[in-house]
Structure 1
Amino acid sequence: MVTRRSVLKAVVAGSVITAYSGILPGVKAFAQTGPRKRRSVNNMKFDDPDLETYRDFVGLMRNKPQTELVSWTGFANQHGDANNFKYCPHGDWYFLPWHRGFVEMYEKAAAVLTNNPDFAMPYWDWTTLRQLPGAFTEKTYKGKPNPLYVPGRGDDASMIRNALTGPYALTDALVGPKVIESIYKETVFEAFGTSRNPRQNNLDPKWVPMGGGNQGILERTPHNNIHNNIGAYMPNSNSPRDPIFMMHHGNIDRIWAYWNALGRKNSNDPLWLNMPFTDNYISPDGKFYTKVVKDLQSTSVLGYTYDNLPSKPDNKKVNTLRSQNLTALFNPAQESTLFKIKQSNISAATLAAPLRLSLPLENQILQDVIKPVAENTEGRELVALISDIKISDNVQAIRVFINRETVNLDVPDTDPHYVTTLGFLKHGSDHGLPSAIVNLTEALKNIAKTNSLANDEITVQLLPVPKPGVATTAVSNVLPASIELAVI
């Protein structure tokens, strides 16, 4: 009798496995009765079949020669090695589809190599579980080393795995319900995920890992801060070497699928839809294959779904003017009449002091932004583009405030002047400096409830958060090349 365990032994010995549905190059499809359902790992029993399969797969891939393409390191290297990203895009509009294809690569390889065609990759919902799932923190499982547990989460003594407590806690400001609500409320794809590189004018795949766009709330707040707070591999370009990576990106992918199920539309720009991720992925039989963005938009077409997607759209009315203005903000070729002001040539401030920039606005425009919803019929909003930010290695994150007399690390996230916390992954020199779009509207309205906004200035304050153990006085200021305000 052939069991999954006996097949696993055969795989380790180098045998060839028949393949999985869905369909990868060089493999044959199993019959399927419907899309695989990806489920939350949060409350999974340790012996849940999907968790068992993933554990077996990680162990199998770790036991292979790590110089092989089909190995734990071989797969991860398509994302990046210890020094630089290879194909993985961060900071541009390919972030979501590329990672969807990457997680699918692991999911299908696990199904084939463990002979479990029903396998669906779990996801970690970090909004409801603020600690690593238990299956990833136990050193052993059934009396043997647990492949999902990574001592120190790295093979370098300097790579320390952080407990998600204290300065590394996944707070409401990073992953809480209000953050998720803001993500789902966005109706423009490039503001929901991340925007294009404004210089892009063709479909050369070199644009994919180049960056150069403005990171939206999904990438720069929950995604990046979770990577950084976990520590070890996760803040770095070789982050897929931590098995928790797939659980984290499974949740990012679920949020995108949820956003689409609410009725939100992806970009229809040919520069997005037709971009090929040429030979970025590896099939279970060791061959490279290509995915195109337009083929990565629908999870059902890819053969899977999630366990908690909304059953119908929320019919949120799309503000056409706002959408046009945002598109124009991201795409220089798009004409618009939106009001903008740009502060450039920013000089370095004193060490350990928050960067403080005052930008004048026309007062009537500001008053339009802070009107109650019933009166603000056009739904005017104020956003800031914070571009090409220089960040020293001893900075963990950047807290953004507006119009507060003083800011320091003791000011709580509940303060009305607090806007958001930006996180950025460590990038190589070839990736460019990160940029972000930040919506200031809610903070402005919070301030207006208790204070008069009689003048016409917006003061943007960027407060560097030092890594634990680093003295505040030792932290260099974060320094953007420019901050641009736009009323959309």
Structure 2
Amino acid sequence: MRSLCTAKKPLLYSQPPPRHHHFLLLLLLFLTVIFLLYPRPLPPQRPIQPPDLSHCLLISINTPSSPPLNCCALSLVSSDLQILNFTFPLPSSPLRIRPAAHLVDSRYISQYSKAVQLMKDLPKSDPRNFFQQANIHCAYCNGAYDQLGFSNLQLLIHNSWLFFPWHRIYLYFHERILAKLIGDDSFALPFWNWDSPDGMRIPSMYLNTSSLYHPNRDPSHQPPVMVDLNFLQVGSDQAVVYPSVDDNLRIMYRQMMENGATTELFLGSAFRAGEQPEPGPGSVEVIPHNTLHDWTGDPRKQNREDMGAFC
């Protein structure tokens, strides 16, 4: 019986497989390729939602024992305020060009100073008031709001990919309020062109006693002192380093090109609903954005307010 079974085995394996086996193999290979190449729907990305403005917490920027700050938005319940849906401006609207702050003329400075003064003079009950506008950044920067649907997770707009889009729309509305107050739809905010050699100093219009001035500034960093884009808060026993134009330009190239080679390296790490806030900043947020805030602020304040802690 053993020899009979052994004799039959070669006959079984020497026969060619049926033709339909080839067809099935080719079909399986084809379906595998289609499965791998065909775009499949991505899982839900869970974008961060606007917070519940009626649920706002007091915050502290120094230590837990410091007096709490109220950066909350005006209550919509106890006032006549209502939220309006944003509408895009018409294509025929005036073209607005933001000028470099060190290049503006006296007419622009007068117009800008007037707009800011009018904003500061608005009643505190007006959400367009200068200090109410400042509170917006304070609230989203320091954890006054929770993520919608996640009461144990803060909604923070720094150190993630929310940094750039949030601040751009924040400045957009600030700019539109100023333009409305002076009746000039073409008005645009200036920008500090600190990556250009001629702009590497605090713009002069912020040094006088107009509405643009604030006393919480580092007196040792006034013009003609050049900005230090790589500024670090050093102790009194350490030598102060004064940068050159080339130093600042090298830092800009490093942060923009070398350290920002991918989307998340430049913009910041992904931050989605239900995730821990501040997963990681982008290259430009760390340097020179953060360093310039610290460089400008008052060293006599614990957090170099009000630029080191922008509240």
After TM superposition, the score normalised by the length of structure 2 is 0.53
User: Which residue of the partner structure matches residue 137 of structure 1?
Assistant: 207
* 2: CA distance, partners of 1:52 / 1:219: 31
Q: Which of 161, 164, 167 is the matching residue for 2:221?
A: 164
CA contact (8 A) 2:228 2:292 kept: no
User: Which residue of the partner structure matches residue 114 of structure 1?
Assistant: 182
* 1: CA distance, partners of 2:308 / 2:211: 20
Aligned residues: 191
Identity of aligned residues (%): 21
Change (3 A) 1:120 1:165: closer
Change (3 A) 1:88 1:62: farther
User: Which residue of the partner structure matches residue 283 of structure 2?
Assistant: 217
Is the aligned partner of 1:36 residue 2:96?
Answer: yes
1:438-469 alpha-carbon deviations (Å, 9 max, x no partner): xxxxxxxxxxxxxxxxxxxxxxxxxxxxxxxx
Query: Counterparts in 2 of 1:254-269, with a 5 A limit?
Result: none
* 1: CA distance, partners of 2:134 / 2:98: 21
Q: Does the residue aligned with 2:103 lie in a helix, a strand or coil? A: coil
Say which structure is richer in strand: 1
Is the aligned partner of 1:45 residue 2:95?
Answer: no
Change (3 A) 1:211 1:176: farther
Cα offset for 1:93? 0.8
* 1: CA distance, partners of 2:137 / 2:131: 10
Q: Rg: which structure is higher?
A: 2
* 2: CA distance, partners of 1:178 / 1:80: 32
Cα offset for 1:162? 4.0
The root-mean-square deviation of aligned C-alpha atoms, in Å, is: 3.1
Q: Which of 250, 260, 270 is the matching residue for 1:196?
A: 270
User: Which residue of the partner structure matches residue 375 of structure 1?
Assistant: none
Change (3 A) 1:162 1:27: farther
Is the aligned partner of 1:228 residue 2:228?
Answer: no
- Unpaired runs of at least 5, structure 2: 1-83, 145-154, 232-246, 298-304
Cα offset for 1:39? 1.5
Q: Which of 211, 219, 224 is the matching residue for 1:147?
A: 211
Amino acid at match of 2:280: N
Amino acid at match of 1:98: W
Query: Counterparts in 2 of 1:30-429, with a 5 A limit?
Result: 32=92, 35-48=95-108, 51-80=109-138, 84-86=142-144, 89-127=157-195, 128=197, 129-139=199-209, 146-150=210-214, 152-153=215-216, 161-164=218-221, 170-171=227-228, 173=230, 176-185=248-257, 186-197=260-271, 200=272, 202=273, 211-231=277-297, 232-238=305-311
Change (3 A) 1:81 1:29: closer
CA contact (8 A) 1:84 1:237 kept: no
After TM superposition, the score normalised by the length of structure 1 is 0.35
CA contact (8 A) 2:116 2:130 kept: yes
* 2: CA distance, partners of 1:91 / 1:29: 30
- Unpaired runs of at least 5, structure 1: 1-23, 140-145, 154-159, 239-488
